[in-house]
Amino acid sequence: MSPVSATYWGLPGYIIFWVLFAIAFGVFLRRSYFLYRLLRLGKPERRSDRIGQRAIFMLSVVSSQWCALKTVGFTDLAGLGHALMFWGFGFFLIGYVIIFGVDGGLGLSLPPAFEALYRSILDIAALFVIAAVIVAAIKRYIVKPKRLEREESPKEKIIMALLFTTMIVLMALHYGTEALKYSAYNISPSPIIGGLLANSLTSAGISPATLSATYTAFWWINYVLLLGALVYAPHSAHLHPLFSPANIFFRPLGPKGALEPVSAEETENFGVSKLQDFTWKQLLDLYSCTWCGRCHAACPAQLSGKSLSPREIILNLKDHLLEEGPRLLKGKAEASSKLIGDVVAEDALWACTTCGACIDACAVKVEHVRRIMDLRRNLVLTQNKMPETAQLMLRNMQSRGHPWAGIQSLRLRGDWTDGLDVKVLADGDTADTLFWVGCTGALVERNVKATISMTRVLKAAGVDFAVLGEAETCCGDPARRVGYEFQFQMMAEQNIETFKSHNIKEIVTSCPHCYNTLKNEYPQYGGDFKVVHYTQFIGNLIAQGKLKLANGLNAKLTYHDPCYLGRYNGVYQEPRQILQSIPQANLVEMARTRDKAFCCGGGGGHMWIEEQSGTTKINQMRLDDALKTGAEQVVTACPYCLQMFEEGIEHKNIKDSLKAKDLAEIVEAAMQPSESKGAA
């Protein structure tokens, strides 16, 4: 009865079955090995720590399809579709293994009742798969949401078309084969749909001989098609089914906001200028991309019209790897086209604000930002190429220890303490709690107001803190984000020494970039301090009863999550709790909020690097989000965001409808009058 047990042209079906299998599997393995060798072109990287934790995460996320389901939103149900496709096909895969084991002459046999049950599951699964594929095709070819906007090459178009067609054909073959089998051999019980189809075939009066012959033919077609799919899978450029679980397994476990230092052994070629400079994990990312385009649709640079598309960077690099791979494996050191320049445009690299929306949106944990930073490092450290505005900023970091070129004509960084009763640490002084102001908060007039507010709040709460005054230098974040790594390292080491010399235990900062750097990156240089963002600190003060916010604030507010505080460090709730604890504060959320918050445009060195001309300004897009809520005030907890909003408000001439505030200013205004009397 099994098609495999028959004889064809003198050959036993088993031989044909297993020979075909061996060939197909062999080709599959050969190609997979080639792909693996391509990964080995990359530099080593240690991602095998905490194997147990990694395995559990990967298995649970992939089998539950949380990787896809987490992307589901009201306007984007594709994740659900993928889950259905995945589970559906998962059942089929198991089914194929079982059934081929049975039919393939391995001597397994299934009780008919079990087989019918299992086939019924497959029948229903197939419906879901077909539905999901049809919807996916409609989305990709007709609806075309932003994230699927792409100039696909003919090859890519064929791959997707083949994928959709193959899946539908396999499902059809499943029904067909099933119907034919059950009608030809009159087996009972029969699966739900297969049984119905079998009945209609039987009642059509087709002879059992015809049915069984057709069944045999369908069976072999199904088998060959499956083997074909197996062979094609690693040869197509659509590799995520094979590699993305591994990518999830090898995901980064360190703090999200931390970049790695440049390797100490490197002396000439910094960052990445060719494929072999990437680590194997970064190359694995390239295989794992699912072409979903969510990173593209979440990227503020892309949405504001810049030439940067995170997805394009990944896919272009993938094509580059597959094209150049054979030559590189043969030992040629150079690829035939330049990575920076031909494959990835310099413009695109500089347009990134490092907001991290791409990483968050990615279902398979591709690391886009780290890659862009590595390419920037090569441009800056090895090729000495960067936008002029970035250069001016970096030169100022070198000679004056802060990125704000020109501002020293207005004030020096210790000046903000003039007239305030603030303890400024002198040589030899010690303090437990340091209020780290940051360059922007000390030097830029608008932000100095927020710093002074913060100081008053701390004093009102009776906090014993000190500041470094003019001894504070930049934390180094702007240098690192622009790729000027050694400057960052020097500043980090200098600051860590300063902290240690004053015996600092705890650092409170107003700037999320400083917060991220001091907390997540300074440990790389021996800096081990307790670092707290002021929203967390103030939250604690309120919880401890040391600060009472009793003055009502009769205004509609919306809170903007700074990327480096929210997405990178998970601090969403604390600022909101503070705002909500103020009487009469009417807090509304923007549509894109919390981890979906839209960048203000100030990160990644963009307080200084000019945005590509002729494009929309990112900060204006975010202000539109704020205006849509009807709020009178947009509140933030980051000096860059505050600057970007003030500049945008000025530009759009909406000073009368929207005010930008730092959370510290709101808190100061909300403090009970009697408490603020004792303050500076």
Partner 1 sequence: MDNHKGVLICGEITDGKLAPVTIELIGLGRKLADELGEQSSALLMGSKASGLAQEAIAYGADNVFVADDSLLDQYNPDAYTQIVAGVCQKALPSIMLLGHTDIGMDLAPRLNARVGGGVAMDCIALAIDPATKLLASTRPVFGGNAHATMVSKSARPQMATIRPKTVPPAARDASRQGQVIPVEGKVDPAAIKVKVVERIKEQVEGVKLEDAEVVVSGGRGIGGAQNFAMLRDLASVLGGAVGASRPACDEGWVPARLQVGQSGKVVSPKLYIAVAISGAMAHIAGCLGSKAIVAINKDKDANIFSVAHFGVVGDYKQILPALTAKLKELKSA
Partner 2 sequence: MNTIVCVKQVLDPEIPPAKFKIDPTAKQVIPPPGVPPVISVYDERAIEAACRLKDKHKGKITAISMGTEKAADVIKHAIAMGADDGFVLQDAAFENLDSFGTAYVLGKAIGKIGEYDLVLCGRQAADWGAGEVGSILAEMLGIPVVTLAADIQAADNTLKVKRIVSDGFEVLEAPMPCLVTVSGEIGLPRLPAGPRMMMARKKVVSVWKASDIGADSAKLDKANAHTEVTALTVPTRKTECEIITGSTPTEAAANLAAKINVLI
Binding site for partner 1 (CB under 8 A): 388-389, 392-393, 404-407, 409-410, 444-445, 607-608, 610, 613-614, 617, 647, 650-651
In terms of phi and psi (left: phi > 0; alpha: psi -120 to 50; beta: otherwise), the region of 505 is: alpha
Shortest distance (Å) from residue 388 CB to partner 1: 7
What residue spans of 250-387 are helical by DSSP H? 280-288, 294-298, 300-303, 310-329, 346-351, 357-361, 368-377
Stretch that binds partner 2, among 236-244, 406-414, 451-459, 670-678 (CB under 8 A): 406-414
- In angstroms, what is the minimal distance from the CB of 438 to partner 1? 16
In the complex, least distance from residue 664 CB atom to partner 1, rounded to whole angstroms: 20
400 binds, among partner 1, partner 2, none (CB under 5 to 8 A by kind): partner 2
Tell me: does residue 413 bind partner 2 (CB under 8 A).
Answer: yes
Contact 288, 311 (CB under 8 A): no
Interaction of residue 388 with partner 2, rule CB under 8 A: yes
| CA atoms within 13 Å, Cβ hemisphere of 645 | 32
486 binds partner 2 (CB under 8 A): yes
**Site string (346-385) toward partner 2, x via CB under 8 A:** ----------------------------------xxx-x-
Q: DSSP for 301-332?
A: HHHTT-S--HHHHHHHHHHHHHHHHHHHHTT-
In the complex, least distance from residue 471 CB atom to partner 2, rounded to whole angstroms: 7
Taking the mean position of all CA atoms in its chain, how far away is CA 415?
Answer: 40
Q: Which does 34 bind (CB under 5 to 8 A by kind): partner 2, partner 1, none?
A: none
Nearest to 301 by CA among 257, 356, 258: 356
Nearer to partner 2, 161 or 412 (CB): 412
Binding window for partner 2 (CB under 8 A); candidates: 168-176, 228-236, 463-471, 518-526: 463-471
CB of 391 to partner 2, least distance (A): 5
Closest to 640 (Cα-Cα) out of 480, 404, 468, 413:
404
CB 582 within 8 A of CB 322: no
Contact 92, 102 (CB under 8 A): no
3-class DSSP string for 615-651: CCCHHHHHHHHHHHCCCCEEEECCHHHHHHHHHHHHH
Q: Are 487 and 476 in contact (CB under 8 A)?
A: yes
Which residue, 371 or 481, is less far from partner 1 as judged by CB?
481
Q: What number of CA atoms fall less than 13 Å from residue 62's CA on the CB side?
A: 19
Surface-to-core class of residue 419, CB atoms within 10 Å of its CB (0-12 exposed, 13-18 middle, 19+ buried): exposed
Q: Are the CB atoms for 376 and 338 separated by under 8 Å?
A: no
Q: How far is the CB of 271 from partner 2 (least distance, A)?
A: 9
- What single DSSP character describes residue 279? B
Q: How far is the CB of 392 from partner 1 (least distance, A)?
A: 8
CB-nearer residue toward partner 2: 103 or 472: 472
Q: Which is nearer to partner 2, 388 or 656 (CB)?
A: 388
The footprint of partner 2 on residues 597-626 (CB under 8 A) is none
Closest separation in Å from C-beta 496 to partner 1: 28
- The residue within the footprint of partner 2, chosen from 134, 412, 426, 543 (CB under 8 A), is 412
For 481-601, where are the E strands, in sequence order?
506-509, 530-533, 555-559, 585-588
> Considering beta carbons, is residue 525 or 537 the nearer one to partner 2?
525
Comparing CA positions, the residue from 209, 224, 207 lying closest to residue 169 is: 224
| Residue with Cβ nearer partner 1 (581 or 620) | 620
CA distances to 128, 255, 312, 566 from 572, in Å? 37, 16, 30, 6
With CB under 5 to 8 Å by kind, the binding choice for 58 among partner 1, partner 2, none is none
Question: C-beta of 611: minimal distance to partner 2 in Å?
Answer: 21
The residues of the shown chain that bind partner 2, judged by CB under 8 A, are 262, 267-268, 270, 380-382, 384, 386, 388, 391-392, 394-395, 398-401, 406, 408-415, 469-471, 484-487, 490
